[in-house]
Structure 1
Amino acid sequence: MTVPTEMQPTLDAIERFDRSDCLAEWRRMFGAEPPPYLSVSFMRRVLLWKRQCDLDGDVSSNTWRTLERIADGRRVASHPKPGTELIREWNGRTYRVRVTEHGFEMEGARYRSLSAVAKRITGAHWSGPRFFGLA
């Protein structure tokens, strides 16, 4: 059952809910009983978050998948956006790598992967994301 937005409690009202109000609103918002032993403070925070999602839109499905991976303890790939500058010190020298639309640039040279950049710096095969602290 969807309750019209204008009939849902305001954020200010949720902040003043007592335990019975929280339980009733939880059942209405989620269509299920809340887990046992939740504090009123925690239920208020979850209800506020859910209400904000209802008002402003929920997080993207991609963000949900990433959060689920993190919660399961799985690795999450990090892809820096173009324009990002990665800085790494190696053997007393500082290297600056700029992320571009098609790869990476360092000292005027272009590279297709961070691993290629790491190999250029160290002379050995490295995981580029690990070398730059992204993994």
Structure 2
Amino acid sequence: MSQTELKPTLSVTAQVAALPTLPMPQLRGLWRKLFETDAPTHVRAFLERRIAYRLQEVEFRKTNQKLLESNQRRIDDLVEATNPNKPVRDNQPPAGTVLTREYREVEHHVTVLADGQYDYQGRLYPSLSMIAREITGTRWSGPAFFGLKSATKPKGARKGGKR
């Protein structure tokens, strides 16, 4: 193998090992071939690492096709099972969590259910905000009321820019 090119017949290990010996123009050419775009930087270490990773990705696709097909089927099943109309609650506590809040010297307990609802005094609620309103009689952010997030904006966060 010459020092100016990588031979595709070499093993991936040999191709990766040869990357430091390639001149920069060949390294950028290999980037264009693998990524179908110009190299985003002239930092050799970055190009070598990303090219090495990409060479391994390409080889993995060839040798592990069954695994890739299996993973794609699993992804398709998950996408199909997901309901796009249901809002995603990414900050909801795990099912079974009991949220406790003392308000006006009365302790209130709310249980998080597996279906995303909340149990408060034997009744089901779709949101913590509804429970906070039930307790206080005023509109509250439910997560803020139960201490799951800050009730106030951070200092310096104002609408409308500088004053």
Bigger radius of gyration: 2
Indicate the structure whose relative CO is greater, using CA pairs within 8 Å and at least 6 residues apart.
Answer: 1
* TM, length-normalised to structure 2: 0.40
